[in-house]
Copies of this chain bind each other. A is one copy, B any other.
Amino acid sequence: MAEIRVQGPEPELENPTLVEGFPGVGLVGKIATDHLVEELEMRYYASVHCEGLPRIGVYRSGDRTVRPPVRLYVSEDHDLIALQSDTPIASQAVESVADCLTGWIVEREATPIYLSGLPAERDGDNRPALYGIATGNGGDRLEAADIPIPSEDGVITGPTGALINRAAQEDYGSLGLVVECSPQFPDPEAASVLLEDGIAPVTDLEVDVQELVDHAEEIRAKREQLAQQMQAIGQDESSQAQPLRMYQ
- A residues sitting closer than 8 Å to B (CB atoms) are 1, 5, 7, 23, 47, 49, 54-69, 86-88, 94-95, 98, 132-135, 139, 142, 149-157, 161-162, 164-171, 176, 222-223, 225-226, 229, 236, 244-248
Contact = CB atoms under 8 A, between A and B. Distances in A.
Q: State the majority secondary structure of interface residues on A.
A: mixed
A63 B166 contact: no
A58 B246 CA distance: 12
A248 B56 CA distance: 12
B95 A156 contact: no
B225 A149 contact: no
B164 A57 contact: yes
Contacts of A164: 57, 66
Contacts of A171: 5, 7
24 contacts: A5-B169, A54-B236, A55-B98, A56-B155, A56-B156, A56-B157, A56-B161, A56-B247, A58-B156, A58-B244, A59-B155, A60-B150, A60-B153, A61-B150, A61-B152, A64-B132, A64-B150, A65-B139, A66-B134, A66-B164, A68-B168, A86-B248, A225-B246, A229-B248
B57 A165 contact: yes
List of 5 A-B pairs having minimum Cβ-Cβ separation, nearest first = A226-B248, A55-B162, A57-B164, A56-B161, A57-B156
A2 to B, nearest CB: 8
A68 B161 CA distance: 9
A177 to B, nearest CB: 11
A49 B169 contact: yes
Given A54-B157, A61-B151, A225-B245, 8 more contacts: A56-B161, A57-B156, A64-B139, A64-B150, A66-B176, A67-B168, A86-B244, A225-B246
B57 A161 contact: yes
A37 to B, nearest CB: 14
